[in-house]
Structure 1
């Protein structure tokens, strides 16, 4: 069975009746969005199918046509969020995005995630996973690992010189740290603060990854030469060795080849 067919069959099992017409599908989406709002406002335990139906502006009988109880609604929300996450990943052209300047690459990824969480169901699923994990049936830690593997594949494309252990560790730190800040952003009642925190995710990841990845030489970024001994930038050119430019540090007096290899003390 393919992943798509497994997802479709799981989604069908959470529904009492699978909608066939567009009107029925739209009603299910409206119920799921309403459930997200209710769970967000009063929590899962206090939520009822009557509250959800009222928020959706539909009769309770219409809700029961599709969902037997709120647990089935919650499971359908899980599956809908999973579908959207996988669709987001599928839209990323890994070879292309890996060649972007580092900040632009991170910006594209962060904005894709931020757009995902503008949808009520996905936003509530993400927050509830960290607050009430026991409610979940379809989503577990494997989804976080999939996100780590996805980012690792981008980092590997960008910097093939890294070992598998290195790019996997970098990806793991990026995903866990960005998830923590994103959780704070999504829980913030202040839209301006939410925006600030989202921007900080971008700055955080760029600062963390830059020493390991940086930008490709073709991006015309000036490389700052520093003495490998004292980190001073006060250098003077000092001839060539094996066709490589040599430098002398004006502060410590030591010499080195352009790539940072020491010649002598």
Structure 2
């Protein structure tokens, strides 16, 4: 095959393997308890399938089989696997919101450092449970995540984190809490992802301590 033709074929094949860039909405939003339960079952199965098979190997048929339902039931809520991936991004935001809530409850009356330690430890546990899925969500296909300004779960996570900083206002050395909240979320996200997806050689608990110190150091620095 001539080189120019071979190159064109390779480029075409490469494009055909690429998913459409951009978040996709579910076919319909669940409103009743039974429907919400079904969506939870589908997303839990999808998380396992993406974690086990990667993006290329994940199919709606495999998701249906893992969930123990018909593929038609999957299509009732999600038109394709890209819509599932978008929903898994939302699910991840909700998981992180729950992490912040649990850490705040566990460290009630405690110091800012204790809250940060709780968030970091729990966030690492969430990401370590499904490392391949986390790579798909945050490294390979991050463009399926809805922008923070249109994602309700991302907004709630921002508001909850800001409330934590407000509750420890006397310890926080940053005047602009909106900016501080943005920075904390991005720092935790980046450092936790790096720790899970490209883990350094470190003693037990050293990563948690290092991430905690980095976030705490930023918040305590007075300017």
Task: Work out whether 1:69 is the aligned partner of 2:76.
Answer: no
Q: Name the structure where helix makes up a greater proportion of residues.
A: 2
Query: CA 1:69–1:170 in structure 2 vs 1: closer, same or farther (change >3 Å)?
Result: closer
Task: Work out whether 1:49 is the aligned partner of 2:66.
Answer: no
Distance 1:179 1:52 in 2: 27
Distance 1:86 1:62 in 2: 28
Instruction: Give yes or no for contact 2:26–2:83 (8 Å, CA) kept in 1.
Output: yes
Task: Work out whether 1:203 is the aligned partner of 2:213.
Answer: yes
Any stretches of 5+ residues in structure 2 without a counterpart?
1-24
Q: Name the structure where strand makes up a greater proportion of residues.
A: 1
- SS of the residue aligned with 1:14? coil
Paired residues in the alignment total: 193
Instruction: Give yes or no for contact 2:93–2:157 (8 Å, CA) kept in 1.
Output: no
Instruction: Give yes or no for contact 1:31–1:52 (8 Å, CA) kept in 2.
Output: yes
Any stretches of 5+ residues in structure 1 without a counterpart?
1-12, 213-265
Aligned to 2:147: 140
Task: Work out whether 1:14 is the aligned partner of 2:26.
Answer: yes
1:236-251 mapped onto 2 (5 Å cutoff) = none
Distance 2:157 2:30 in 1: 30
Q: Which of the two has higher C-alpha Rg?
A: 1
1:85-100 mapped onto 2 (5 Å cutoff) = 85-89=96-100, 97=108, 100=110
Cα offset, 1:207, TM superposition: 4.3
Instruction: Give yes or no for contact 1:185–1:198 (8 Å, CA) kept in 2.
Output: no
Distance 2:59 2:51 in 1: 13
**Bigger mean CA deviation after superposition, 57-66 or 140-149:** 140-149
Instruction: Give yes or no for contact 1:14–1:67 (8 Å, CA) kept in 2.
Output: yes
Query: CA 1:135–1:168 in structure 2 vs 1: closer, same or farther (change >3 Å)?
Result: closer
Q: Report the TM-score, using the length of structure 2 for normalisation.
A: 0.59
Task: Work out whether 1:180 is the aligned partner of 2:187.
Answer: no
Distance 2:120 2:199 in 1: 20
Equivalent of residue 168 in structure 2, options 158, 163, 167: 158
Cα offset, 1:182, TM superposition: 0.7
Which structure ranks higher in relative contact order (CA pairs < 8 Å, sequence separation ≥ 6)?
Answer: 2
Instruction: Give yes or no for contact 2:43–2:84 (8 Å, CA) kept in 1.
Output: yes
Q: Report the TM-score, using the length of structure 1 for normalisation.
A: 0.52
- RMSD of aligned Cα (Å): 4.4
- SS of the residue aligned with 1:44? helix
Instruction: Give yes or no for contact 1:185–1:194 (8 Å, CA) kept in 2.
Output: no
Query: CA 1:162–1:72 in structure 2 vs 1: closer, same or farther (change >3 Å)?
Result: closer
Query: CA 1:156–1:127 in structure 2 vs 1: closer, same or farther (change >3 Å)?
Result: farther
Distance 1:80 1:148 in 2: 15
